[in-house]
Amino acid sequence: MSAEVRGQTPLSPPPSGPVPFPRQLSLRLLTDMVRIRRMEEKCAELYGSGKIRGFLHLYIGEEAVAAGALPALAPEDDVVATYREHGHALLRGVPMKAIMAEMYGKREGCSRGRGGSMHLFDSATRFYGGNAIVGGGLPLAAGLALASFLKKEKRVTACFFGEGAVAEGAFHESMNLAQLWRLPVAFFCENNLYAMGTALARSESQIDLCVKAAAFGMATLRVDGMDVVATHEAAKQACAHVRAGKGPIFIEFQTYRFRAHSMFDPELYREKSEVEAWKTRGPIHTFSARLKAQGELTEPQFLEIDAAAMREVDEAVAFAEAGTWEPVEDLAKDVYAL
């Protein structure tokens, strides 16, 4: 299969160059990516040992998108995400313990165990899921933004979704509605090139996603989703645009998933060499190399960041293990709000 058919452009060189952020911010972004990576590696292991069941969709490889975008949001903003949302929840401020307990299905989980991996919720941080219907989050996000608009609040609604969603009517209808009504929503499209196993060019007549958004008259940005410098800058720009009342914005984050779509995916649709090539653009090692090159990070410091993330993961697992099962008598609880 040719590269063109597979919907790929030749790989850009790995992200490089000076990091223009204050060192504290840079270290935060790096730490956040490492936290997601370590948490999800543990999730994969726990899936293997049967502690986590159901579907499990890992974000490994795509961490620079969440790590760059979430810090651009304010506490009062809304976040809508997909079923590949562990990292977004974590960086929005949902404690790793509560996320891990949710994966276990324990009562102490962030959705009291009712949701699992695909339905992480946290009202305290305005994290509204965890939507496992592709495209399902877009109209919801438009509605949250409509509420913000009608209440004259300055809230931004950040809506994360994969490029697979652009084939859904929900995408086109929501983009139109958002632009028509100039709703304060930032559409963050994580283009990892594959909708499950279907490459973009095998499902879309127009593979330039920004062209689709621009067709609605919407402002667009395209950024290297493997470069946390670029993702953070773009997300800040997007939030400023929305907060200034200029209407919605669409960002295409060009990224790549290093792991299978879910734990059931044998990855028949892509070559191992392609994955390996993308790994040279990995968001964590390229960013840490840049920080080292400008003297803002040493290897021992990196190892300490990594060790701290591992400790956080261990504590989260211990918390989940110690968690309790909801009694079956409570089965019918929370079907209706009282």
Partner 1 sequence: MTITYREALRQGLYDAFDRDERVFLMGEDVGKYGGTYAVSKGMLEKYGPERVRDTPLSELAFVGAGVGAALGGMRPIVEVMTVNFSLLALDPIVNTAAMLHHMSGGQVSAPVVIRTSTGAGRQLAAQHSNTLEAWYAHVPGLKVVAAATIDDAHGMLLAALEDPNPVVIFEYPALFETKAELSGKTVDLSSAALRRQGSKVTLVTYGACLPKTLKAAEEVDGEVIDLRVLRPLDMVPVMESIRRTRRCVVVDEGWKSGSLAAEVMARIAEDAFYDLDAPLARVCREEVPIPYPKHLEEAALPQPEKIVAAAKGLFG
| 150 lies in the binding site for partner 1 (CB under 8 A) | yes
Q: Which amino acid is at 141?
A: A
170 touches partner 1 by CB under 8 A: yes
Name which of 200, 203, 211, 171 is nearest 187 in CA terms: 171
Interface stretch with partner 1, choices 128-136, 256-264, 278-286, 301-309 (CB under 8 A): 128-136
Interacting stretch for partner 1, rule CB under 8 A, among 17-25, 124-132, 281-289, 308-316? Answer: 124-132
Q: Which of 275, 276, 286 is nearest to 193 (CA)?
A: 275
Query: Would you count residue 169 as binding partner 1 (CB under 8 A)?
Result: yes
Of the two residues 96 and 260, which places its CB atom closer to partner 1 in the complex?
Answer: 96
Size of the site for partner 1 (CB under 8 A): 45
Whose CA is closest to 15, among 225, 309, 326? 225
Q: Site mask, partner 1, residues 299-338, x = CB under 8 A?
A: ----------------------------------xxxxxx
> What separation in angstroms does the CA of 109 have from each of 58, 122, 199, 202?
18, 10, 34, 38
Counting contacts by CB under 8 A, is residue 264 touching partner 1?
no
How, if at all, do strands 198-199 and 194-195 pair? antiparallel
Residue 220 pairs in a beta bridge with 250
Which residue of 26, 117, 148, 286 would you call a contact of partner 1, by CB under 8 A?
148
Instruction: Report if residue 85 touches partner 1, rule: CB under 8 A.
Output: no
177 touches partner 1 by CB under 8 A: yes
Cβ neighbours around 113 below 10 Å, total: 19
Q: From 80, 78, 84, 113, select the one nearest 98 (Cα to Cα).
A: 113
Binding site for partner 1 (CB under 8 A): 78, 109-115, 119, 121-123, 128-131, 133, 136, 138-148, 150-151, 169-170, 173-174, 176-177, 180-181, 333-338
